[in-house]
């Protein structure tokens, strides 16, 4: 019997998840069906109930329901607890297991696909909303020395405080003047409105080489995908060595969900190549 899965969001029509999971299934020979389901804003719990009754094995959850999914889960992984959000649900009897694969997807894209170890790297995470919550624990687990900066500094301080770790601190963008980072990750929603993030520019670049916020050989990573954001343009103009969007993260978080459900890890490189094309 074909096992059924879905991604639930609102809106959901443009989700790439069905296509990604279809490719994973073909590649691994897993017999699954995966569809996109739009839930009414106030109908998430009812949608989940309907899927469980129909025998679905699990689902992915995206905007704006990740916190609803966190609440509805009867069991949570450690990384979902830290994220205070769930993007992957697994149904088994009365149990609804909630997990969050976003941070693992980000770390895997950086470490495996881009070949950059995060161990002891100075990492700047920009933003203190849901997207940032999802990735802090996996970044710390990967050994990063993490600074979180946010337009509203208190939110970054509050997020950093949740982790009993000396490797994470939070503040505002003004605090960053004079600092350099090996990896700068944009987890803000500024790109959606084409707004700039108030990062300190590099006065010496390109004439005098480095000197700004991007350390030599640094990576600029935008969690958004599909187009060049103002942050990506800023990174190119201010000395980042590598500038990437979040397509790899999208596919890696899907692969991690597929692995949770099926116990098989799909190869992501051909899927990333196909979606880039
Ligand atoms: P989400 O859950 O999608 O992350 P959110 O909780 O509204 O949404 O968080 C959006 C993040 O992007 C916040 O960190 C926000 O900064 P504030 O906390 O100060 O609002 C950040 N953000 C949005 N637009 C921005 C902009 N133009 N410049 C800098 N940061 C921005």
Domains of the chain (ranges; CATH) run 3-100+251-276 (3.40.50.10860), 103-245 (3.40.50.720)
CA–centroid distance, residue 190 to ligand 1 (Å): 7
Cβ(86)–Cβ(100) under 8 Å?
A: yes
State the Cα–Cα distance between residues 161 and 138, nearest whole angstrom.
Answer: 16
Position 164 scores a pLDDT of: 86
Position 121 scores a pLDDT of: 98
CA–centroid distance, residue 188 to ligand 1 (Å): 5
Encode pLDDT of 43-71 as tens digits: 999 999 999 999 999 999 999 999 999 99
**If you take atom 18 of ligand 1, which residue's CA is the nearest one?**
152
Is residue 205 predicted with pLDDT exceeding 60?
no
Q: Which of 173-177, 210-214, 227-231 has the lowest mean pLDDT?
A: 210-214
| Pocket mutation for ligand 1, best pick of 188, 191, 196 (most atoms within 8 Å of C-beta) | 188
| Pocket mutation for ligand 1, best pick of 61, 83, 129 (most atoms within 8 Å of C-beta) | 129
**If you take atom 8 of ligand 1, which residue's CA is the nearest one?**
129
State the Cα–Cα distance between residues 6 and 77, nearest whole angstrom.
Answer: 20
Position 200 scores a pLDDT of: 82
Encode pLDDT of 8-39 as tens digits: 999 999 999 999 999 999 999 999 999 999 99
Position 206 scores a pLDDT of: 53
Is residue 245 predicted with pLDDT exceeding 90?
yes
CA–centroid distance, residue 127 to ligand 1 (Å): 6
Is residue 124 predicted with pLDDT exceeding 50?
yes
Position 132 scores a pLDDT of: 97
CA–centroid distance, residue 191 to ligand 1 (Å): 10
pLDDT band (50, 70, 90) for residue 178: confident
Q: 238-252 in b/e burial notation, b at 16+ Cβ within 10 A? A: bbbeebbbbbbbbbb
Query: Ligand 1: which atom is nearest the Cα of residue 155?
Result: 18
Query: Ligand 1: which atom is nearest the Cα of residue 195?
Result: 27
Cβ(145)–Cβ(165) under 8 Å?
A: no
Position 207 scores a pLDDT of: 46
pLDDT band (50, 70, 90) for residue 208: very low
Task: Scan for tokens 């999802």, then name that residue.
Answer: 134
Query: Ligand 1: which atom is nearest the Cα of residue 151?
Result: 19
In this prediction the pTM is 0.96
Q: Is 161 assigned a catalytic role? A: no
CA–centroid distance, residue 16 to ligand 1 (Å): 24
Q: How many residues does the chain have?
A: 277
> Is the sign of the CA dihedral 44, 46, 49, 54 positive or negative?
negative
CA–centroid distance, residue 171 to ligand 1 (Å): 14
At 97 the three-state DSSP class reads: strand
Among 57, 66, 71, 196, the active-site one is 66
Encode pLDDT of 62-111 as tens digits: 999 999 999 999 999 999 999 999 999 999 999 999 999 999 999 999 99
Please give all residues whose beta carbon lies within 6 A of any atom in ligand 1, as ranges: 127-131, 150-152, 155, 188-190, 195, 197
**If you take atom 6 of ligand 1, which residue's CA is the nearest one?**
129
Query: Ligand 1: which atom is nearest the Cα of residue 127?
Result: 14
State the Cα–Cα distance between residues 51 and 96, nearest whole angstrom.
Answer: 12
Share the mean pLDDT of the chain: 95
């Amino acid at each position: 019997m074909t096992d059924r899965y879905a991604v639930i969001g609102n809106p959901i029509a443009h989700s790439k998840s069905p296509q990604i999971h279809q490719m994973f299934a073909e590649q691994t020979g897993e017999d699954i069906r995966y569809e996109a389901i739009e839930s009414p804003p106030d109908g998430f719990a009812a949608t989940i109930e309907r899927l469980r009754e129909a025998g679905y094995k699990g689902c992915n959850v995206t905007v704006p329901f990740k916190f609803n999914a966190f609440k509805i889960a009867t069991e949570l992984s450690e990384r979902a607890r830290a994220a205070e959000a769930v993007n992957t649900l697994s149904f088994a009897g009365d149990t609804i297991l909630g997990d969050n694969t976003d941070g693992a997807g980000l770390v895997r894209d950086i470490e495996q696909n881009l070949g950059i170890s995060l161990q002891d790297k100075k990492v700047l995470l920009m933003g203190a909303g849901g997207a940032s919550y999802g990735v802090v624990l996996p970044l710390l687990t990967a050994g990063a020395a993490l600074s979180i900066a946010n337009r509203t500094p208190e939110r970054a301080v509050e997020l950093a405080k949740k982790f009993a770790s000396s490797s994470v601190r939070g503040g505002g963008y003004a605090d960053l003047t004079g600092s350099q980072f090996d990896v700068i990750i944009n987890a803000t929603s500024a790109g959606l409105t084409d707004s700039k993030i108030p990062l300190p520019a590099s006065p010496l670049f390109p004439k005098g080489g480095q000197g700004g916020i991007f350390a030599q050989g640094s990576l600029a990573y935008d969690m958004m995908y599909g187009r060049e954001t103002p942050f990506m343009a800023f990174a190119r103009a201010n000395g980042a060595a590598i500038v990437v969007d979040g397509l790899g993260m999208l596919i890696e978080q899907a692969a991690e969900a597929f692995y949770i459900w099926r116990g098989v890890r799909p190869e992501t490189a051909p899927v990333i190549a196909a979606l880039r094309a």
